[in-house]
Structure 1
Amino acid sequence: MPIPASVLTLAAGILLALISLWVGQNINVMPVAAADDASTVDALFKVLFSIGVGLLLGITAMLVVALVQFRRRPGDHLDGPAVEGNLPLEIFWTAVPAIVILMLGVYSYDIYARMGGMADFSHHTSMPPPEVEQASLGNPADPETVIWGGIDRAEGMAFPVEVTAMQFAFIFHYPQQNFTTGELHLPLGQPVELRLKSNDVIHAFWVPEFRLKQDVIPGQPTVLSFTANRQGDYDIICAELCGPYHGGMRSKVVVEDSRNFEEWLIRNTPTTVATAPDSSQTA
């Protein structure tokens, strides 16, 4: 007794779903996770990866079956059967992808909000950055009308670093210590607030291990808050085409423990040497 096609289809669908879930959850193609929010992003990626594997295997299997089952046999010169349509199948392949895409959209929005993408930037309104003042063409920017963007959930409690993107480099300024460097150093396990600006064109600040990529737009004040949780050296990459040497616009971020970070800050912080006045001039 032949097995009904509906039973075979159901069994194949269940097997495909199990394989896709196993591959998506057990095969890791992402770089090492080095920030607190990386695991949240990875959870979304695993869902997308599972769906992608299922689509790849399912479509490939249907193509192979169609090539084998419905190939032209020797001596067969007739046309194929006139199939006009299949309304239930058309409803199925329209409704299911629509539901999946809607669910992914809601899930993605939730993750973005948890990372701070929908944060209230009102605590930044009192300090419009200089590039906004300059972009106003002589008219001082109103702090209440400055529109901030980015990812922010530190609410002013994080360690600040000012990041300037330009063709073709990133420059990092530590305002509390008042020095500038071409290499970003961050403390392990401490919230950090990057205040990004661009001096020329649109750039993007991307550290794959942090699972963070933020566009840096001229005249647009942007905040990027996160907490690095793994020591190491990681590449900073400009992920927005910004000119002929875009591919070489890279820098490095060094995540180190608090002691080494403090020592690095002390070594780079400029010292003010107090000199005693000349007694002959003060007499």
Structure 2
Amino acid sequence: MKIPSSIWTLLIGIVLTLVSIWYGQNHGLLPTAASDEAVLVDGLFNSMMTVSTGIFLIVEGVLIYCVIKYRRRPGDRQDGPPVEGNVPLEILWTAIPAIIVIGISVYSFEVYNDIGGFDPHAGHNAPMAQSSMTMPGSAIAATLSDAQAQDPATAEVRNTDQIPQHQDAPGVGSVAPSIGSSPDKAGQPPELLVNVTGLQYAWLFTYPETGVTTGELHVPIGREVQINMTANDVIHAFWVPEFRLKQDAIPGRQTEIRFTPKTAGDYTLICAELCGPYHGAMRSQVVVETPAAFEKWMQEQLVASHETLNKAVAVNPADLSPDEFLAPYTKDMGIQPEILHQVHH
């Protein structure tokens, strides 16, 4: 009994659909989802992978079928039959991709909007908190003043009058002041604020509530983190693949990114913007840990900072410049003198 072609088409369609859905959800191409926002991005990526797998299997399947079925047989010297245009087929293969592209575009915009990427009324009217900068054992310090180190790498661009986006920029594009805040948390203050400065070729993290500054970012699970960032020299980009969010750090401007960590672990912060010859080495660690472990780490930094500053103020001769005085401490931390000089100036 010969099975009708319509039945074969239906069966093949069902198999292709099931295979596409399975692979779209089980491709294993993405790293660990370490933030609440990652779920939205993963859903979009998986949907695109499902559609792409289905299209790939259909196109390649038809090509292989045609190559086998309509190949030239031995002894066949005739020309192929003339085939004219098929208007319904042309409409079909134009309409289906158009519908797919429009659907993905709408879905992409919804995801972008859900993570706070678009707000036509966005405006940051509250000035950013000024922060003092201390020098813990694992931190980078720039200079000493009144027994505390200030934040010269970012002080000039932390004033709201000097940051055009801080007042009137819409939340769109690479200079967006805000991305990552979900609608249910819109308008609410973040649970943890961190000031970030990018410079060739390092990241500085300052916790304004405590004044601690470090060379690696520590964040607690379950608390929304707001990163206020700028750059000291050229454009850099704050990107942690496991968080599925990226934002540019721009000289003279302040940008913002929010995320809520959910999976403990050590992740790599990568500069995703070509920023110079050593761009590939501009990496830092992001440590996602339990709230208790985070508080313990913060207390350790405060203790180390207090001890180091007391020692520094006690022994600093008046004739040494900040760069010269801090050199022994930064050497122990593996910080190059050139980096310290850039921070200071």
Q: Distance in 2 between matches of 1:32 and 1:39?
A: 10
1:151 to 179, 191, 206: 179
2:246 to 213, 229, 248: 213
Q: Distance in 2 between matches of 1:229 and 1:256?
A: 9
Q: Does 1:231 align with 2:264?
A: yes
Counterpart of 1:161 in 2: which secondary structure? strand
Q: Distance in 1 between matches of 2:291 and 2:160?
A: 36
- Give the structure 2 partner of residue 43 of structure 1: 43
- How far is 1:146 from its partner? 5.4
Q: Distance in 2 between matches of 1:161 and 1:81?
A: 70
Q: Distance in 1 between matches of 2:209 and 2:98?
A: 50
| C-alpha distance after superposition, 1:97-120 (max 9, x if no partner) | 111111111111111111111245
Q: Does 1:176 align with 2:202?
A: no
- Give the structure 2 partner of residue 14 of structure 1: 14
* One-letter amino acid of the structure 2 residue matched with residue 79 of structure 1: D
Q: Which deviates more, 50-59 or 111-120?
A: 111-120
Q: Does the Cα contact within 8 Å between 2:269 and 2:286 map onto a contact in 1?
A: yes
- How far is 1:202 from its partner? 2.4
Q: Which deviates more, 140-149 or 59-68?
A: 140-149
Indicate how the Cα distance of structure 1 residues 6 and 194 shifts in structure 2: closer, same or farther if over 3 A, else same.
same
Counterpart of 1:242 in 2: which secondary structure? coil
- How far is 1:27 from its partner? 3.9
Q: Which deviates more, 74-83 or 6-15?
A: 6-15
2:198 to 162, 165, 173: 165
Indicate how the Cα distance of structure 1 residues 159 and 6 shifts in structure 2: closer, same or farther if over 3 A, else same.
same
- Give the structure 2 partner of residue 110 of structure 1: 110
Q: Does the Cα contact within 8 Å between 1:125 and 1:146 map onto a contact in 2?
A: no
Counterpart of 1:150 in 2: which secondary structure? coil
Q: Does the Cα contact within 8 Å between 1:33 and 1:39 map onto a contact in 2?
A: yes
Q: Does the Cα contact within 8 Å between 2:232 and 2:251 map onto a contact in 1?
A: yes
Q: Which deviates more, 82-91 or 240-249?
A: 240-249
- Give the structure 1 partner of residue 53 of structure 2: 53
* One-letter amino acid of the structure 2 residue matched with residue 52 of structure 1: S
Structure in which a larger fraction of residues adopt strand: 1
- Give the structure 2 partner of residue 278 of structure 1: none
Q: Distance in 1 between matches of 2:61 and 2:39?
A: 32
Indicate how the Cα distance of structure 1 residues 146 and 53 shifts in structure 2: closer, same or farther if over 3 A, else same.
closer
Q: Does 1:241 align with 2:241?
A: no
1:203 to 214, 232, 236: 236
Give me the CA root mean square deviation. 2.6
- Give the structure 2 partner of residue 193 of structure 1: 226
Q: Which deviates more, 52-61 or 125-134?
A: 125-134
- How far is 1:250 from its partner? 0.9
Q: Distance in 2 between matches of 1:114 and 1:165?
A: 27
- How far is 1:218 from its partner? 2.9
In structure 2, the gaps of 5 or more residues are 129-154, 171-175, 311-345
- How far is 1:142 from its partner? 9.3
- Give the structure 2 partner of residue 131 of structure 1: 157
Identity %: 45
| C-alpha distance after superposition, 1:64-111 (max 9, x if no partner) | 112111212222222222222111111111111111111111111111
In structure 1, the gaps of 5 or more residues are 274-283
- How far is 1:132 from its partner? 7.2
- How far is 1:188 from its partner? 1.5
- Give the structure 2 partner of residue 91 of structure 1: 91
Indicate how the Cα distance of structure 1 residues 244 and 159 shifts in structure 2: closer, same or farther if over 3 A, else same.
same
Counterpart of 1:108 in 2: which secondary structure? helix
Q: Distance in 1 between matches of 2:166 and 2:231?
A: 19
- How far is 1:16 from its partner? 0.8
- How far is 1:133 from its partner? 6.0
- How far is 1:141 from its partner? 5.7
| C-alpha distance after superposition, 1:33-74 (max 9, x if no partner) | 111112222111211111121122222211211211121222
Counterpart of 1:8 in 2: which secondary structure? helix
| C-alpha distance after superposition, 1:245-282 (max 9, x if no partner) | 22111111001112221122122234387xxxxxxxxx
Indicate how the Cα distance of structure 1 residues 152 and 56 shifts in structure 2: closer, same or farther if over 3 A, else same.
closer
Counterpart of 2:286 in 1: which secondary structure? strand
Query: How many residues are aligned here?
Result: 269
Q: Distance in 2 between matches of 1:226 and 1:173?
A: 17
TM-score normalised by structure 2 residue count: 0.71
| C-alpha distance after superposition, 1:142-198 (max 9, x if no partner) | 964456523153532331101111222211111121132110001111110001112
